[in-house]
Structure 1
């Protein structure tokens, strides 16, 4: 497979062996490798049952891995960092998600690209717009910048 690009979302809200969440994300970027661009780490409020604030970032990576192979590698990195099976939205040392792929959409067992919920997640869009504002969602045709702007607009009931 030829080298392609992926937009990866990173999140952490627990101390790990590398230190506080911000350091966990920096160490995760080193572990992922192939970094083309990385967004600065942002602090974001927790969702769901977690009470701890999250550190979130995004990165564009270049690799020749297929989406399932990259996902398997990212999940192995999460485990290496101490992530264990947990409840949705629970505290975690590291969360790595494939958000977009330069080849468009992908769907297979356990993986859908683009990530099904990324369009509504400010904690994904805010870092992503810093490094990939013009990258287009292959399903909607909207750029990351447009999706982020929609998140900022007040919603009417």
Structure 2
């Protein structure tokens, strides 16, 4: 089993409910156990003119291969109405593999650690609820170092769900 962290986000069709449905689907993945889920956070979209996002991070222990897990996550997105019309457009659900154990993955369809996660408070702060501060990324940086360089700005931690 490897510990995998999944970033979750939605800004369409009742985003909090989209995340709750995704959590239920993650709990049903084969060869996997859902270990925990962070609080939900709201943040502005990275692009102007889009609705605010609701984000969270899930921790999963799994024996699934990275691309098999990616396919399963994309199936969950599709089941929840995800349309891939534009790369940075609004979405019902976005599920991203942030970290896959201590692996460094550079495949055409999958890059792990997830690109730009170190710059995104809406990823790092929910991740910090589940992962130890001394969690070390493949490049040697710790989660604590990333948090120190990424202020809690523009985030709103939502009340318990």
- Under TM normalisation by the shorter chain, which class is it? 0.7 to 0.9
The 1-side partners of 2:35 and 2:79 are apart by 23
Say whether 1:6 aligns with 2:20. no
Name the structure 2 match of 1:107: 106
Structure with the larger RCO, 1 or 2 (CA within 8 Å, 6+ apart) = 2
Gaps of 5+ in 2: 28-32, 153-161
The 1-side partners of 2:94 and 2:6 are apart by 10
Partners of 1:49 and 1:89 within 8 A in 2? no
In the TM superposition, structure 1's runs of 4+ consecutive aligned residues that sit over 3 Å from their partners are none
TM-score, scaled relative to structure 2: 0.85
RMSD over equivalenced CA pairs, Å: 1.7
Change in 2 beyond 3 A, CA 1:65/1:50? farther
The 2-side partners of 1:115 and 1:61 are apart by 16
Name the structure 1 match of 2:137: 137
Gaps of 5+ in 1: none
1:2-81, aligned counterparts within 5 Å? 3-15=1-13, 20-33=14-27, 34-81=33-80
- The size of the alignment, in residue pairs, is 147
The offset of 1:27, in angstroms, is 1.1
Tell me which moved more, 52-61 or 110-119: 110-119
